[in-house]
Chains A and B, each alone.
Chain A
Amino acid sequence: NAGVTQTPKFQVLKTGQSMTLQCAQDMNHEYMSWYRQDPGMGLRLIHYSVGAGITDQGEVPNGYNVSRSTTEDFPLRLLSAAPSQTSVYFCASTKGQGARWYGYTFGSGTRLTVV
């Protein structure tokens, strides 16, 4: 049981380049989210999904796109990378339902540097 898998673990981009951060979970979780962590800022929600085909914006969505074609995968696309997008990105998932909710399970993160 791999949990939440994020690839790549590290990436350096040039300003203006595009790329996709991959996220996959094997726990049959309905809900998935993308967060970014910046020093002194905690974790901020970028986009989230409550099921295949359903996505919505979080707190800081500008510059990012998502899609959810399957339950397992939730890729995050950077359209035109900017230095302000230098951050650590975390993907997370949860079952959502049930009397005992343990919140989201997080991946190990992707450290992105935009130069």
Chain B
Amino acid sequence: DQQVKQNSPSLSVQEGRISILNCDYTNSMFDYFLWYKKYPAEGPTFLISISSIKDKNEDGRFTVFLNKSAKHLSLHIVPSQPGDSAVYFCAASAGYTGANSKLTFGKGITLSVRP
């Protein structure tokens, strides 16, 4: 039973346009959500996070939106750049202390930004 779902395996966008990456979750105990970016042959790197008490968090070109009632979050990248081409993982946890800090990951989305 997949608790974090990234239903689209890939996304291709034109440079300068908006990239929207979607993520759904089923576990209502999840309280904290994160996006990680991964290049080939490297470990995932933290991109942006959001707590369940918020519905939006912004960091430069990256914005994450959370809709708790729909159990849905999305990552917006504006404007998209070729260097953003990578695999993006959505992850969730029930908190950030103790056993609650365990991360559950989605399967990832491969983003390709065309020059």
Give A contacts to B, CB under 8 Å. Answer: 4, 31, 33, 35, 40-45, 48, 50, 56, 58-59, 90, 92, 94, 96-98, 101-109
Contact = CB atoms under 8 A, between A and B. Distances in A.
B14 interface: no
B49 A101 contact: yes
Given A58-B102, A104-B46, 19 more contacts: A31-B101, A40-B107, A41-B107, A42-B6, A42-B108, A43-B44, A43-B89, A45-B102, A48-B102, A50-B98, A94-B101, A96-B98, A101-B49, A102-B49, A103-B46, A103-B103, A106-B44, A108-B41, A108-B43
Given A40-B107, A41-B107, A43-B89, A106 B45 contact: yes
A103 B98 contact: no
Contacts of A108: 41-43
Given A101-B49, A105-B46, A45 B32 contact: no
A56 B99 contact: yes
A42 B106 contact: yes
Given A90-B44, A108-B43, A101 B105 contact: no
Contacts of A107: 43
Contact of B105 (A44, A97, A102, A109): A44
A25 to B, nearest CB: 12
Which has the most chain A C-beta neighbours within 10 Å: B6, B46, B93? B46
A102 B102 contact: no
Given A101-B96, A103-B36, A33 B103 contact: yes
Contacts of B36: 103, 106
B49 A45 contact: no
Interface string B78-105: 0000000000010101001111011111
28 contacts: A40-B107, A42-B4, A42-B105, A42-B106, A42-B107, A43-B44, A43-B91, A45-B104, A48-B102, A50-B99, A50-B101, A58-B102, A90-B44, A92-B43, A96-B98, A97-B97, A102-B49, A103-B34, A103-B49, A103-B93, A103-B103, A104-B46, A104-B103, A105-B46, A106-B36, A106-B45, A107-B43, A108-B43
